[in-house]
Amino acid sequence: MKNKTNRIVAALTLALSLSIPGYLPAQDAPPAAPAAPAAPGAPGAAAPEPTNNVVLTVDGTPIKENDIREMMMSRFGRQLQQMPPEQLAMVQQQMQQMIIGDLISKALLLNAADKDGFKATDEDVAKEIEEISKRIPDGTSFEKFAQSAGVDVNRIKEQIADDTKIRKLIDKITKDIKQPGDEEVKKYYDEHEDEFTQKESVAASHILLSTQNITDEKEIAAKKTEAEDLQKELAKEDGKSFEDLATAHSDCPSKAQGGSLGEFGRGQMVPEFEEAAFSQEVGTIGDLIKTQFGYHIIKVTDKKEAKTLPFTEVQEELATNLFEKAKGAEVESYLAKLRNTAKIVNPNEPVVPPGESLLPPSAQEELPGDAPEQ
């Protein structure tokens, strides 16, 4: 239930971040004050309420600190919570600039949608909420679940309305884009065959008896004996399942998934583990393996050989991807025109003419890497 709940919370907060995959590329943005500035306070004093200042305006439309916080948490929340402080300090500013760039794109598209007269009806919003409600646990209303997730219902409705208007605008912008024909799809496949190569991989589970930080030979031997006893249990016809034993005895976090490590390719595991996993047959439990982490009992659950996927197997998905890529390029071109005439103002920086960047030339290079999917 916990995992299901987390997915639904993500769906609720996702409504606050305008997810239009492929259409809103991360763009360089004017430098801004941190979204959640720290305020000094006496030890033990209650933390002050976060501010909600205007970071910048796009053709008069304000982008506020709360807008950045919402999208930051929706897109990177879990990653940020799991990062050590020193790593967080290194990447947070870059993440924030990506978010600001997307919010600028959103503001430009929303203003254009309003100008073109696109509306979001109550029926549009209700339909989207109905879809979200289908993923909420039985017996819980949308409103109660949103409240328990710390998400304001009215804010969700506002963002769904904005999202709907922008989607209608995008439909208009891309209405002349045609589905690629079979010849075009086949031509792309033939010219990019390397994109359709499936690398060799295995799916496996393991039970780890960790010997890390253990230097006493007797303790290490005891770990090995424990692993051998588990192997004997697995060999019994009426013995406990691999998943049950992994959950009860493994020292790896994968114990929460019954020992499952999922699918992995070569070069992702330490050599001893990789050699054992790739040499085992599907469904078998191999010999005890010793690595720098300890003793492993490995069960291979699936294998995929390296091969080039045939055209017939990828044709439909490839056609869809090419179609979406063409629509995305059309929207990017439309956005570029909007930016060229937009007036983007940072209250803490001098006003610059429309179409010019607030960034110095050295900072106007594209940010490395794409923003993660929401």
Give the count of beta carbons closer than 10 Å to the beta carbon of residue 58.
Answer: 21
Confirm whether 282 is domain-assigned. Answer: yes
pLDDT for residue 310: 93
Q: Return the amino acid letter for 292.
A: Q
**CATH number, domain with residue 297:** 3.10.50.40
Is residue 224, in this structure, part of any structural domain at all? yes
> At residue 267, what is the residue type?
G
From the list 326, 327, 311, 329, the residue with the least C-alpha distance to 187 is: 311
Same domain for 121 and 82: yes
In a domain, 183, yes or no: no
pTM: 0.61
Same domain, 107 and 241: no
Tell whether 265 is covered by a domain: yes
Per-residue three-class SS string for the chain: CHHHHHHHHHHHHHCCCCCCCCCCCCCCCCCCCCCCCCCCCCCCCCCCCCCCCEEEEECCEEEEHHHHHHHHHHHHHHHHHHCCHHHHHHHHHHHHHHHHHHHHHHHHHHHHHHHCCCCCCHHHHHHHHHHHHCCCCCCCCHHHHHHHCCCCHHHHHHHHHHHHHHHHHHHHHCCCCCCCCHHHHHHHHHHCHHHHEECCEEEEEEEEEECCCCCCHHHHHHHHHHHHHHHHHHHCCCCCCHHHHHHHHCCCHHHHHCCEEEEEECCCCCHHHHHHHHHCCCCCECCCEEECCEEEEEEEEEEECCEECCHHHHHHHHHHHHHHHHHHHHHHHHHHHHHHHCCEECCCCCCCCCCCCCCCHHHCCCCCCCCCCC
Both 159 and 284 in one domain: the answer is no
Task: Tell me, yes or no, whether 204 and 299 share the same domain.
Answer: yes
Domain for residue 46, yes or no? no
* Residue 25: other Cβ atoms inside 10 A: 16
- The total number of structural domains in the chain stands at 2
Assess whether 168 and 29 both reside in one domain: yes
Measured CA distances, 144 to 70, 74, 137, 148, 150 (Å): 20, 19, 11, 6, 10
Q: Are residues 135 and 209 in the same domain?
A: no
Q: Choose one of 305, 322, 338: the last residue of a domain.
A: 305
162 and 208 in a single domain? The answer is no
CATH of the domain at 13: 1.10.4030.10
> What one-letter code names the amino acid at 206?
H
Asked if residue 152 and residue 81 are part of one domain, the reply reads yes
Q: Are 354 and 342 in contact (CB under 8 A)?
A: yes
* Res 343: pLDDT: 92
Residue 56 structural domain = 2-37+51-173
Please tell me whether residues 31 and 82 are part of one structural domain.
Answer: yes
Out of 288, 305, 322, pick the residue that ends a domain.
Answer: 305
* Residue 132, in any domain of the structure: yes
153 and 212 both lie in a single domain: no
Triad 34, 50, 75: Cα angle to 5°: 60
List the pLDDT tens digit at each of the 374 positions of the chain.
Answer: 444 444 444 444 444 443 333 334 444 444 443 333 344 444 444 556 678 888 899 999 999 888 888 888 777 776 777 677 777 777 777 888 888 899 999 999 999 999 999 999 999 999 998 888 888 877 788 888 888 777 788 888 998 999 999 999 999 999 999 999 999 999 999 999 889 988 999 999 999 999 999 999 999 999 999 999 999 999 888 888 999 999 999 999 999 999 999 999 999 999 999 999 999 999 999 999 999 999 999 999 999 999 999 999 999 999 999 999 999 999 999 999 999 999 998 866 544 344 443 333 433 343 333 333 43
In a domain, 340, yes or no: no
What count of other Cβ atoms lies within 10 Å of the Cβ of residue 321? 15
- Domain contains 365: no
Final residue in a domain of this structure, among 277, 305, 333: 305
Shared domain for 160 and 216, answered yes or no, is no
Q: How far is CA 206 from CA 193, 267, 283, 336, in A?
A: 35, 17, 12, 51
**pLDDT at position 37, please?**
39
- Regarding whether 119 and 19 lie in a shared domain, the answer is yes
